[in-house]
Amino acid sequence: MSINNTEKSYNFGMIGLGTMGRNLLLNMADHGFSVTGHDKSDKMLALLEEEGKAHQLKGFAKVEDFVGSLTSPKTIILLVPAGKIVDEVIAEITPLLSKGDIIIDSGNSYYADTTRRSVALKEQGFHFFGMGISGGEEGARFGPSLMPGGDKDAYSVVKDLLEAVSAKVNGEPCVTYIGPGASGHFVKMTHNGIEYAIMQLLAETYDILKNGLGYNNQQIQQVFEKWNNGRLKSFLMEITKDVFLFKDEKTGNLLVDEIKDQAKSKGTGKWTSQIAMDVEIPLNTIDASVAARNLSKLKDLRVELEGAFGKAANITQNEDFEAQLEEAFYFAMVSAYAQGMHLLWKASEEYGYELNMAEIAKIWRGGCIIRAEFLQDIYEAYQKQPSLQHLYQDASIQQKLQKGLKDTRNVIASAISAGIAVPCYAAAITYFDTLKTGRMPSNLIQAQRDYFGAHTFERIDSEGVFHAEWSK
C-alpha cells in the first residue's frame, strides 16, 4: 500500500520515523527537498495526517514501494535504533538497491559496527556512511549538528541537503565531512561522552546549591539563568534552568522533585570511556559521569549506607561562594571538552581519521546538545594550532584556568568536606593536577610491578630495561 502515492519520484528517503527521523524528514521537506519516508509501524500515516497538508510529504508502508519511489542514486537515511535493527534494515533494503546507491546510518551506532558495515557494503558496491546527528527532537526539526564520515563520493551527493537542513552559526552550516571510515560515529560518540560529563556537572552543581547551600528550586533556577547570560551560556544550561520551574500536572509540585534519582543511558557515554581506555587517553571527568549514572542505579544500597553513615552536611558559605562555584563549573566544564578533544586527537592518529579539530569544534557551536559559548574558544584554539594535542596547552585557556583555580579548589574542597558527592568536579581537579605534575609517583608503580612480577623498569640515568631482586 502506498500513502499519498503519486507517479512522482523522490530524491531522498528516510527509514525510521520516530523522534529523530520524523523531524529530520520534515526539516528536509521544509527546505524544498523531495523526500519520502518509511517506518515499520504506521507512523507515516500519523505524520501525513498531522503534517501532510503543510508539507510535501510522501510515505510508503511497504519497503519495496518506498525504495522503488527513489531516483538514482537512491539515497536512504536510517534513523532507527542502533544495534541489530540497523543490520536488519540494511539486509532488507540492499536486495532492492543497485550498485552506487547510498545508505546513510544517522543513528547512534557503535563505531566498530559502522566500520564493519562500511567494508561489507563497499564490497557489495554500495556507498555507505555513518552520520552522527545531535540536537534531539528540536534540532532534527529545525537544524541539527551533523557529523558525516565515510565514503566521500557519497558525501558530495548529499552535501547540499545536509548543509541546508543543519543548524547555522554566523551563516555557516553545522556540518562538515568528518573523515574516512567510522569517524562520523566516533565523533558523535565522543560528543555524547562530553554531554554526559556536562550533564553530571550540572547535576552536582544542583546538589551543592540544594543540599550544600539550602537553595530552593527557584533560587537554583536564578543561578543557572545568571550563568547562562555569561561565559557558561550553553544549551544544557539553558534547558536545565527551565527544568527547575516546570510544574507537574499530576501533583502541582515542581516536576523535578517528583522524578526518581536513577539515571538511564543508551551506551554512548560508556563506549567513550571504554574506547578511551583502549587507546590510553585518560577521560577522568567523562568516566566519572558514566560511573555516576551507574551509582544512581544503586538506590537501595545508597539508602542503606546513608542510614549507616549519615547524610551530607551543609556547606559553610561565604558571600563569594556562588561566584566561586561559577569558576569551578567553568574549570570542570573545560576539562570535559578538553578530554573529549584529546580522545579525538588520538583517534585521528590511531584510526587514520584525519580529523580537523577546528572544524569539529565549529560544527558543535550550533544545533547539538553540547553547543556552548565555550566552543568558540575551542574553535579558535585549534584554528591557531591545528595539531594541538591538548586544550590546556592553549595560552588563552591556560589564563582562564589559572584565574579560577583557587576558587575551584575551594568549592570542591568545601563540597568534599561537607560529604556532598561531586565525582565530576573532583575528577576534573585531579585530572588537571595530574596532568600538570612533571614527576608523578609512577616510579613506585614500576618498582612494585618489578618486585612482584619481574616486569622490569626503566632508569632515569641509563637506557634499557632493568630488574632488581627486591626481596633480597
Ligand X SMILES: O=C(CO)[C@H](O)[C@H](O)COP(=O)(O)O
Chain residues 358-377 in contact with ligand X, contact rule CB under 6 A: 369
Q: Is 25 in the site for ligand NDP (CB under 6 A)?
A: no
Specify burial of residue 73 (Cβ count, 10 A radius: 0-12, 13-18, 19+). Answer: middle
Residue/partner pairs of 324-327 with CB below 8 Å, 24 or more apart: 324/407, 324/408, 324/410, 324/411, 325/205, 325/208, 325/209, 325/223, 325/411, 326/227, 326/230, 326/232, 327/403, 327/404, 327/407, 327/408, 327/411
Site stretch for ligand NDP (CB under 6 A), options 128-136, 213-221, 224-232, 382-390: 128-136
Q: Is 81 in the site for ligand NDP (CB under 6 A)?
A: yes
Does 55 count as an annotated binding residue?
Answer: no
Cell of 336: 570535559
Q: Is 97 in the site for ligand NDP (CB under 6 A)?
A: no
Q: What residues pair up with 466 in beta bridges, in sequence order?
A: 457
Q: Is 290 in the site for ligand NDP (CB under 6 A)?
A: no
Site stretch for ligand NDP (CB under 6 A), options 17-25, 47-55, 209-217, 297-305: 17-25
From the candidates 43, 58, 74, 188, which is the catalytic residue? 188
- Between CA 169 and CA 367 the distance in angstroms is 9
Does 314 count as an annotated binding residue?
Answer: no
Cell of 89: 534494515
Residue 265 site contact among ligand X, ligand NDP, none (CB < 5 to 8 Å, cut-off depends on kind): ligand X
Chain residues 150-189 in contact with ligand NDP, contact rule CB under 6 A: none
Cell of 377: 574558544
Site stretch for ligand X (CB under 6 A), options 75-83, 159-167, 226-234, 262-270: 262-270
Specify burial of residue 341 (Cβ count, 10 A radius: 0-12, 13-18, 19+). Answer: buried
Cell of 107: 543513528
Residue 107 site contact among ligand NDP, ligand X, none (CB < 5 to 8 Å, cut-off depends on kind): ligand NDP
Does 455 count as an annotated binding residue?
Answer: yes
Coil/strand/helix, residue 138: helix
Q: Is 268 in the site for ligand X (CB under 6 A)?
A: yes
Least distance to ligand NDP from the beta carbon of 368, Å?
9
Least distance to ligand NDP from the beta carbon of 19, Å?
4
Residue 364 in contact with residue 229, Cβ under 8 Å? no
- Between CA 197 and CA 286 the distance in angstroms is 5
Residue 76 in contact with residue 50, Cβ under 8 Å? no
| Angle separating helix axes 423-435 and 284-297, nearest 10 degrees | 160
Q: Is 134 in the site for ligand X (CB under 6 A)?
A: yes
From the candidates 58, 195, 359, 362, which is the catalytic residue? 195
Find all residues with CB under 8 Å of 102, minimum gap 6, and list them.
73, 74, 75, 76, 126, 127, 128, 129, 151, 154, 157, 158
Nearer to ligand NDP, 75 or 324 (CB): 75
- Note if 195 is an active site residue: yes
Nearer to ligand NDP, 108 or 414 (CB): 108
Residue 333 in contact with residue 205, Cβ under 8 Å? no
For ligand NDP, the binding residues (CB under 6 A) are 15-21, 39-41, 43, 79-82, 85, 88-89, 107-108, 133-134, 136, 266
Binding residues: 108, 134-136, 191-192, 196, 266, 293, 449, 455
Q: Which residues are catalytic?
A: 188, 195
For ligand X, the binding residues (CB under 6 A) are 108, 134, 136, 192, 195, 265-266, 268-269, 369
Binding residues for substrate: 108, 134-136, 191-192, 196, 266, 293, 449, 455
